[in-house]
Chain A
Amino acid sequence: MIPAAFDYAPATSLDDAMLKMEGANGTGKFIAGGHSLVPLMKMRLAEPPLLIDISRLPELTGIREREGKIVIGACTVHHEVATSPLLHERCPVVAEAAATIGDPQVRNRGTIGGSVAHADPSADMPAVLLALDAEIHLKSSRGWRIVKAADFFTDLFTVNMAADEIIVSFQFTSMRTAAYAKLHQRASHYAIVGAAVGLEMGDGTITSARVGLTGAASHALRLRTLEEALVGHAPAAAAVESAVQTAGQDLDHVNADIHASAEYRRAMIPVFVRRALAAAVARA
């Protein structure tokens, strides 16, 4: 549990972070809370020569509402997300999901941006960002880029993001009728299966739905077949339950490990979609 030697450079500003990364000639790695990276380093599965610390940059932290959108700085720690009065009021699903991450020590150090950039296939927050159709705002010395969550998670630990890019913030339209439910892996408390459901309701029917799923596949993804099947129905309609029952059954590959077989994971998708859906409807 002793990492290989590395250099450490705390960034003083976002621009300084860019500059340091550029100067590192490909040897640099951004670090925020370190709760994904440091364990890899301690097991020597990662040996980055230079860590550029962006955790103390004020422009990367905080949760606010701006022009009708919620903006969460990438280096905001999970605890702050989980306890944000603004999120509890306007978009409780984000706080609810953050509260299920790891344990208090992890939540006090780990950041939402770090978790999303690392893109563990069982991480919670990617599913939520998918359900909220969130924008991921990236910056590098080459400029800004905005990527939709649905275009961000591309494969196992792989995201639509270059090595010199920093996630600056997550932005999304707030939505009360959204909820997250997960089956905890009892050691890590990652999700064996986690489902985030975001609904728009009108006249007692679902007018739009987004369902983000984590834990089941190589990366978090949206269950678009299900989303389409939900629209136009009242939540209690038989059509909704029958759509939920087949949720995720069209996935080609479902993960399997010592904690859960593919068969079990597949069976858990409808269970947690159903729970998240019911909780979202209850918030209407």
Chain B
Amino acid sequence: MPASPVLPKLVGERVKRREDPRLIQGRGTYVDDVKLVGMRHLAFKRSDVAHGHIRSVDTSAAEAMNGVEAVFTGARIAELLGPMPIGTPFPSPPHRAVAADVVRYAGEPVAVVVASDRYTARDAADAIVVDIEPLPVVVDPERAMQGQPTVIHADFPNNLAVALVPSGTGVGADGSVDDTAIDKAFANAEVRISQRMMNQRLVPNAMEPRGVVAHFEPGKGTMTIWSSTQNPHILRTMIAAMTGLGQDQVRAIAPEVGGGFGAKINIYGEEYVAAVVSKELGVPVKWVEDRSEAFVATTHGRDIIGYVDVAATRDGKVLGLKLRLIADIGAYNMLLTAAVPTLTMLMANGTYDIPAIRTTLTEVFTNKTPTDAYRGAGRPEATYFVERAMDMLARELNMDPAELRRRNLIAADKFPYQTQMGAVYDSGDYLKALERALEAANWNGLIAERDAARQEGRLVGIGLAMYVEVCGLGPSSSLPTGGWEHSQVTIERDGRISATTGASPHGQGNETTFAQMLGDQFGVPIDHITIHHGDTGIVKQGIGTFGSRSQAVGGTALHLAGGKVKAKMAKFAAALLEAHEDDLVFENGQIGVKGAPASARSFAEVAGYAYVPVPLPPGLDPGLSEEAFFEPANNTYPFGCHITMLEIDRDTGEPRLLKVVAVDDAGHLINPMIVEGQIHGGLAQGIGQAMVEEAVYSENGQLLTGSFMDYALPRATDFPRFELHATVTPTPVNPLGAKGVGEAGTLGATPSIVNAAVDALAEFGVTHIDMMLRPEKLWRIIHGGHQ
């Protein structure tokens, strides 16, 4: 693998995001900005109750309203649209985009209105009278898995969506289970840790809610669908399949997308409904989710219980780990719902050399909004469980938590490393990241500072967490969509460069990073390059942006396509310069012969020649446009170490961050500033989960945190200055050596913060605190026995 395969001119530089001027000036085009002649507006009538039989849906008053074109009940939609498919191999109950007989969570659609404007549509939805006979409601997954007090889907006894899947040491590919090694580890242990941990439910809350415009043109028989999605090509595939159209007849467009965080991977019922209603009525239709809907109708994240057991020796060597997972997936399986907790199993090894691991996974239906991917998707959960358990072990052994990690980290010379969970970690130097973080944070100084604060009676704690993530998804064996990415690079006749990518950036900055790469590859200025994405009419093929894959997979496809067209351009240049193509250099907007700069022709002149090739060099076709697919051989495994210091107010229990140090290793970086932005965002969301965010349901299935009055997001003023550092361990999986970084911040933040909080309150005998760190919860620990 080449150490650094791209020129250093733009790559590696802090180039400002080319996307930002239009976005911060309000000049972006989002779904809600799409306006078509004759466009109608949809509004969904949603169930207020969390579980019940639909007795009747009376649409007469709504239909009688001026401006209302049609009202579709669940039964009517069922005539146009089959049950929604999922993207995982697990069995799944039928899920209708609009419920026809039973509702299973508050917010589930029961009817849809088509009207001349958005206001009328909303009023008409209010005028629909739905009579629902309530059924018992279950919101607690551990009750649900006993079948109590209700069974949500008839064919899934005890509400088990996935019933106890084992994984890890001694589990064969055929599902056979041999407990010898894990039993021996626990039998030989001198120390055991056992803890139930909750990774609470979160609401993703992208700044832009979802939205869709569907335009079926009856004359042409084609469908164009705009959607606030992370993956327009998957949308195209699914819309085609569900509407009976061919993929050639569907064009999917993701315009500006105001954040996704995993919740816009799923293809939603509202998208299918918009498509079939447009097809049925022959008019374009628009639906834009409002914030209240977004809280209940867009998938939630996390919500998984981990029962963690660790076996170790007195000198701090971990012998075995058991992780029993219970995932509350809500009322239905969505596209990737069932797969997210499997990533928690996959990453149970963490950064450690653990001889025996047994995980089991149970996924449970409850009467809540379905879950799906949320930034990190399964990996922050694994990191949290493992890193909390490691911290508990360090406390039990009275050992420096950094030293305990040192004794268990996978050594740098063991890569590629086959884990107990079946992953092959591509490359890593975990000890280096740990030592770098300890040095950057001045770990011993922090300990002294903490101890001095304690002398003053202050409750100060420090926490440390390692993480390793699985990124750069594929390969194709791991994704039903395929795990490759595609790009086409075209040198236009005027010498400018158009490139497409199947990645669909919605905040990741690929219009900048990809242009940096091409700028170096061709020696042309960045403003001569346009990156096209998010439109299946322009971008021939693609998978999309999720799982921190854009740079590692999409960037590599771009690099390969660029290499192909460069090779062809070199042939044209060689003919023009009467030189050998191997002697050419592409630099400063010119192509010339090495060592003879006076000979150089402008990039534009060579491009022009390729399109009017007189004479046509032998063996060449005209034109400069090449494409490439890139299928990675493996995932990438970025890693790092985060250190947090916080203080808890003794009187109120309020926690306050004092210091956040993050060392992240994402391999080679194309644009360190964009990488830092990604880490900042990830940290913010991880801090949010640790400290202020929690989706709370009532016993009867109502989301009590259904607005920003009750669901908190962290604010800039909640954060200390983030101290970011990097180590660089390139991946051998792709020629760029880039690993991916979109989710990293969420992995290190939560365990390092909770570890710090437990440290701050250690004097009260506490060994674990579930997130979020609600002040009252901490106050109760401090004022134990306070009644």
Selected contact of B710 from candidates A2, A4, A103, A258, CB within 8 Å: A258
Selected contact of A2 from candidates B119, B705, B707, B715, CB within 8 Å: B119
A191 to chain B, nearest CB (A): 12
With a cutoff of 8 Å between Cβ atoms, the chain B residues found around residue A4 in the complex are: 123, 126
Contacts A1-B290, A268-B652 known; A261 to B776 CB distance under 8 Å? yes
With a cutoff of 8 Å between Cβ atoms, the chain B residues found around residue A264 in the complex are: 776, 779-780
Q: How far is the CA of A4 from the CA of B120 in the complex (A)?
A: 9
Q: Is the CB of A186 within 8 A of B290?
A: no
A267 beta carbon closer than 8 Å to chain B: yes
B291 beta carbon closer than 8 Å to chain A: yes
Residue in A closest to B692 when the chains form the complex, CB atoms: A186
A271 beta carbon closer than 8 Å to chain B: yes
Q: Is the CB of B704 within 8 A of A258?
A: yes
B208 to chain A, nearest CB (A): 14
Q: Is the CB of A187 within 8 A of B122?
A: no
Tell me the A88-107 residues at the B interface (CB within 8 Å). 103
With a cutoff of 8 Å between Cβ atoms, the chain B residues found around residue A251 in the complex are: none
Residue among B651, B713, B783 with max Cβ neighbours from chain A (10 Å)? B651
Q: Is the CB of B704 within 8 A of A260?
A: no
Q: Is the CB of A271 within 8 A of B652?
A: yes
B170 beta carbon closer than 8 Å to chain A: no
With a cutoff of 8 Å between Cβ atoms, the chain B residues found around residue A267 in the complex are: 779, 783, 786
Q: Is the CB of A5 within 8 A of B123?
A: yes
A44 beta carbon closer than 8 Å to chain B: yes
Selected contact of A1 from candidates B292, B705, B783, CB within 8 Å: B292
Interface size class of B (residues with CB under 8 A): 20 to 34
With a cutoff of 8 Å between Cβ atoms, the chain A residues found around residue B705 in the complex are: 187, 258
Encode contact with A along B703-719: 1 for CB under 8 Å, 0 otherwise: 01101111111010000
Selected contact of A188 from candidates B292, B696, B710, B780, CB within 8 Å: B710
Encode contact with A along B683-727: 1 for CB under 8 Å, 0 otherwise: 000000000100010000000110111111101000000000000
Q: Is the CB of B291 within 8 A of A1?
A: yes
Residue in B closest to A4 when the chains form the complex, CB atoms: B123
B134 to chain A, nearest CB (A): 22
With a cutoff of 8 Å between Cβ atoms, the chain A residues found around residue B710 in the complex are: 187-188, 258-259
Selected contact of A43 from candidates B292, B783, B787, CB within 8 Å: B292
In terms of DSSP, what is the predominant structure of the interface of chain B?
loop
B458 beta carbon closer than 8 Å to chain A: no
Selected contact of A260 from candidates B696, B709, B776, CB within 8 Å: B776
B525 beta carbon closer than 8 Å to chain A: no
A9 beta carbon closer than 8 Å to chain B: no
B154 to chain A, nearest CB (A): 33
Tell me the A1-23 residues at the B interface (CB within 8 Å). 1-2, 4-5
Tell me the B258-294 residues at the A interface (CB within 8 Å). 290-292
Q: How far is the CA of A263 from the CA of B705 in the complex (A)?
A: 21
Selected contact of B290 from candidates A2, A188, A271, CB within 8 Å: A2
Tell me the A28-44 residues at the B interface (CB within 8 Å). 39, 42-44
A254 beta carbon closer than 8 Å to chain B: no
A183 beta carbon closer than 8 Å to chain B: yes
Residue among B123, B290, B705, B710 with max Cβ neighbours from chain A (10 Å)? B710
Q: Is the CB of B292 within 8 A of A258?
A: no
Q: Count chain A residues whose beta carbon lies closer than 8 angstroms to a beta carbon of B.
A: 22
Contacts A1-B291, A187-B712, A258-B696 known; A271 to B122 CB distance under 8 Å? no
With a cutoff of 8 Å between Cβ atoms, the chain B residues found around residue A261 in the complex are: 776
Selected contact of A187 from candidates B119, B126, B708, B783, CB within 8 Å: B708
Q: How far is the CA of A218 from the CA of B717 in the complex (A)?
A: 30
Q: How far is the CA of A20 from the CA of B753 in the complex (A)?
A: 56
A269 to chain B, nearest CB (A): 12
Residue among A260, A261, A267 with max Cβ neighbours from chain B (10 Å)? A267
B672 beta carbon closer than 8 Å to chain A: no
Encode contact with B along A40-65: 1 for CB under 8 Å, 0 otherwise: 00111000000000000000000000
B395 beta carbon closer than 8 Å to chain A: no
B53 beta carbon closer than 8 Å to chain A: no
Contacts A1-B290, A267-B783 known; A187 to B709 CB distance under 8 Å? yes
Q: Is the CB of B704 within 8 A of A5?
A: no
B432 beta carbon closer than 8 Å to chain A: no
Q: How far is the CA of A5 from the CA of B704 in the complex (A)?
A: 27
Contacts A2-B118, A187-B708, A187-B712 known; A263 to B651 CB distance under 8 Å? no
Encode contact with A along B53-86: 1 for CB under 8 Å, 0 otherwise: 0000000000000000000000000000000000
Q: Is the CB of A2 within 8 A of B122?
A: yes
B719 to chain A, nearest CB (A): 14
Q: How far is the CA of A259 from the CA of B712 in the complex (A)?
A: 11
Q: Is the CB of B119 within 8 A of A183?
A: no
Selected contact of B651 from candidates A44, A258, A271, CB within 8 Å: A271
Residue in B closest to A184 when the chains form the complex, CB atoms: B654
Q: Is the CB of A188 within 8 A of B709?
A: yes
Q: How far is the CA of A186 from the CA of B774 in the complex (A)?
A: 10
B775 beta carbon closer than 8 Å to chain A: yes
Q: How far is the CA of A269 from the CA of B713 in the complex (A)?
A: 26
Q: How far is the CA of A268 from the CA of B649 in the complex (A)?
A: 12
Q: How far is the CA of A268 from the CA of B709 in the complex (A)?
A: 21
Q: How far is the CA of A44 from the CA of B48 in the complex (A)?
A: 14
With a cutoff of 8 Å between Cβ atoms, the chain A residues found around residue B775 in the complex are: 183, 260
Encode contact with A along B88-132: 1 for CB under 8 Å, 0 otherwise: 000000000000000000000000000000110011001000000
With a cutoff of 8 Å between Cβ atoms, the chain B residues found around residue A187 in the complex are: 692, 705, 708-713
B43 to chain A, nearest CB (A): 8
B763 to chain A, nearest CB (A): 20
Tell me the B476-534 residues at the A interface (CB within 8 Å). none
Q: How far is the CA of A259 from the CA of B694 in the complex (A)?
A: 11
Selected contact of B712 from candidates A1, A186, A268, CB within 8 Å: A186
With a cutoff of 8 Å between Cβ atoms, the chain A residues found around residue B786 in the complex are: 263, 267
Q: Is the CB of B783 within 8 A of A183?
A: no
Q: Is the CB of A183 within 8 A of B652?
A: yes
Tell me the A108-127 residues at the B interface (CB within 8 Å). none
A143 to chain B, nearest CB (A): 37
With a cutoff of 8 Å between Cβ atoms, the chain B residues found around residue A183 in the complex are: 652, 654, 775
Residue in A closest to B209 when the chains form the complex, CB atoms: A1
Q: How far is the CA of A56 from the CA of B715 in the complex (A)?
A: 31
Encode contact with B along A243-284: 1 for CB under 8 Å, 0 otherwise: 000000000000000111101100110010000000000000
With a cutoff of 8 Å between Cβ atoms, the chain B residues found around residue A2 in the complex are: 118-119, 122, 290
Encode contact with B along A51-85: 1 for CB under 8 Å, 0 otherwise: 00000000000000000000000000000000000
With a cutoff of 8 Å between Cβ atoms, the chain A residues found around residue B122 in the complex are: 2
Encode contact with A along B750-787: 1 for CB under 8 Å, 0 otherwise: 00000000000000000000000011100110010011
Q: How far is the CA of A268 from the CA of B653 in the complex (A)?
A: 10
Q: How far is the CA of A258 from the CA of B122 in the complex (A)?
A: 30
B457 to chain A, nearest CB (A): 15
With a cutoff of 8 Å between Cβ atoms, the chain B residues found around residue A188 in the complex are: 708-710
With a cutoff of 8 Å between Cβ atoms, the chain A residues found around residue B119 in the complex are: 2, 5
Q: How far is the CA of A103 from the CA of B714 in the complex (A)?
A: 12
Residue among B291, B654, B712 with max Cβ neighbours from chain A (10 Å)? B712
B501 to chain A, nearest CB (A): 34
B596 to chain A, nearest CB (A): 61
Q: How far is the CA of A271 from the CA of B783 in the complex (A)?
A: 13
With a cutoff of 8 Å between Cβ atoms, the chain B residues found around residue A1 in the complex are: 290-292
A180 to chain B, nearest CB (A): 16
With a cutoff of 8 Å between Cβ atoms, the chain A residues found around residue B779 in the complex are: 264, 267
With a cutoff of 8 Å between Cβ atoms, the chain B residues found around residue A258 in the complex are: 696, 704-705, 710
- A-B CB contact pairs (8 Å), 5 listed: A2-B122, A5-B119, A188-B710, A259-B710, A268-B652
A interface residues with partner B (beta carbon < 8 Å):
1-2, 4-5, 39, 42-44, 103, 183, 186-188, 258-261, 263-264, 267-268, 271
Known contacts A187-B712, A187-B713; can you find 4 more A-B pairs with CB under 8 A? A1-B290, A2-B118, A5-B123, A186-B692
8 closest A-B pairs by CB: A1-B290, A187-B712, A186-B712, A2-B122, A264-B776, A188-B709, A271-B651, A186-B692
